[in-house]
Amino acid sequence: MLTQHFGNDGALPFWVADMDFRSPDVVIDSLIKRSEHGIFGYEYKKENYFDALVNWYENRHRWLIDLNHIEFCPSVLNGISILINQHSDKGDGIIIQPPVFFEFRLVIRSNNRNIIKNPLNVVDGKYQMNFDDLEEKAANPKTKIMIICNPHNPVGRVWTRGELSRAGEICRQHNVLLISDEIHGDIVYKPHQYTPFSSISDELARISATCLSPAKTFNISGVIDAMTVIANEEYRDRFHEFAHRYHINKTNVFASAAIEAAYSQGGKWLDELLSYLRANIDFLKSYLHDNLPQVRLIEPEGTYLAWLNFEELGLDAKELEKFLAQKAQLALNSGYWFGREGAGYSRMNIACPKSILHEALLRLTNAARKHL
C-alpha cells in the first residue's frame, strides 16, 4: 500500500486513521474468552451490551440515548450511505464542509448525488463554519442532506453546542437532514467538550441521524459494528426496514464481545490514552516551534489527527506530497485528499509512540533544512 500511494515503501506511516497501540486488555481478554467458548452460532445482542453502550454515553457525554432509537449496521460509512439513499434522490445535493474526511465525497459520488461544498474558513488560525454560505446552500431546494463531522477530521475542531445548534437550525428551516458523524467523539482534549448533536434538543434530534462507533476510541476498526441513532420515528422505521430487508443488522459475536467490554470497562484506558495523545500533541507543537517554525500545527481540539500547514515551504500540492514521501520519507495524507481547500496542508496521525513521532520530526526537519 505504501508503494502504491507514496511510491516509497520506506516511508514511515502516519496516514491511516487507526492507532499503533494495542486495544485495552479488557477488550483483548473478552475476545480471547469469546474465542475459547468455541461456539459461534447466531447470537442476539445481550442486555449487558446495551447497558454498557447507554451508560458510556450517559456517563461520559451526558447523553441519554433511548435504546429504541438505535439502528445497527456494520460501519459508519455504511449507515451514511443508507441515509443518503433514503433521504435524497439521484442528482440531489449533499452539503459537506471541506477540508473533510475524503470518504464523504466518495460515498456521495458513488450514490450519484452532488457534492455541495460549504468550506470551512480559517479565522486567526482556527477553522470555523461559514454560516452565511451554509444558509445559501441549504436554501437550494435540491439540497437534501448535510453531513457534519464532529469532531472534525482532519482539522480537529470539536464543534461547540452553539455552532452545532446554528448549523442544525439552518438545516431545520430548509428541510435538510443533518447527518452527524461522531466516530471521533471520545477523542477530545480538555477543556473542549464533545456535544452529541442529538443531545442539543428534541427538535434538532428529529431532523438528524447520528453515526456512532467505538472503532476509533478503542482501535477496533477491524471488529466492525456501528450504531445509527435516529430519534425521528418515521426516519428510523425506514432505516430499520432497509436493514431488515438487506439483512445487515446481524450480530457479530466478536464485535459484541469487544464493544461490551470496551464500553463497560475501557474508561480508564481511554483516560490514559488521552493523556498520552495530549502529550504527543504538545511535543509536536513545541518541536515545530523550536526547530521548524515554517510548519505550523493547527492544534487539534479532538481526534488523534494533526493538521499541518506547510504553505511556508512554498511548494504546490504535488511537490509537497513528493517532498514528504521521497525527501522526508513520511507517509502523511496530503491535504488536497480532503478537498482542494486542504492544499498546502498534510494530515499526520499522532497515535503512535513518542519515539516514532520524534523520528518523523527528525526526518522532516532534515529534509526541510536541505530544501529551505
CA distance 222 to 248: 17
3-state SS, 316-361, equals: CHHHHHHHHHHHCCEECEEHHHHCHHHCCEEEEECCCCHHHHHHHH
Nearest distance, CB of residue 370 and ligand PLP, angstroms: 33
Among 180, 213, 329, 349, binds ligand PLP (CB under 6 A): 213
Q: Minimal distance in Å, beta carbon 111 to ligand PLP?
A: 15
Query: At its nearest, how many Å lie between ligand PLP and the CB of residue 337?
Result: 12
Residue whose CB is less far from ligand PLP, 106 or 139: 106
Instruction: Calculate Rg over the CA atoms of the chain.
Output: 21
Nearer to ligand PLP, 75 or 140 (CB): 75
Alpha helices in the chain (DSSP H): 2-6, 25-37, 47-61, 76-87, 102-110, 131-139, 161-173, 202-206, 215-218, 233-245, 253-265, 267-291, 317-322, 354-371
Tell me how far, at minimum, the Cβ of 238 lies from ligand PLP, in Å.
20
DSSP string covering 273-284: HHHHHHHHHHHH
Q: Does residue number 148 form part of the binding site for ligand PLP (CB under 6 A)?
A: no
**Is residue 220 close enough to count as binding ligand PLP by CB under 6 A?**
no
Determine if 259 is a binding residue for ligand PLP (CB under 6 A).
no
d(CA 310, CA 217): 28
**Three cell numbers written together for 209:** 441521524
Asked whether the beta carbons of 140 and 171 are under 8 A apart, the reply is no
Instruction: Choose, by CB under 6 A, the member of 11, 17, 284, 297 that binds ligand PLP.
Output: 17
Q: How far apart are CA 112 and CA 240, in angstroms?
A: 23
Identify which range of 43-51, 69-77, 115-123, 256-264 contacts ligand PLP by CB under 6 A.
Answer: 69-77
Closer residue to ligand PLP (CB): 103 or 311 = 103
Asked if 111 touches ligand PLP (CB under 6 A), the answer is: no
Determine, following the binding rule CB under 6 A, whether residue 229 of this chain makes contact with ligand PLP. Answer: no
Minimum CB distance to ligand PLP, residue 215 (Å): 5
State the binding string over 164-203 for ligand PLP (x if CB under 6 A, else -): -----------------x-x--------------------
Cell of 328: 522526508
Q: Residues interacting with ligand PLP, by CB under 6 A?
A: 17, 75-77, 101, 149, 153, 181, 183, 213, 215, 221, 226
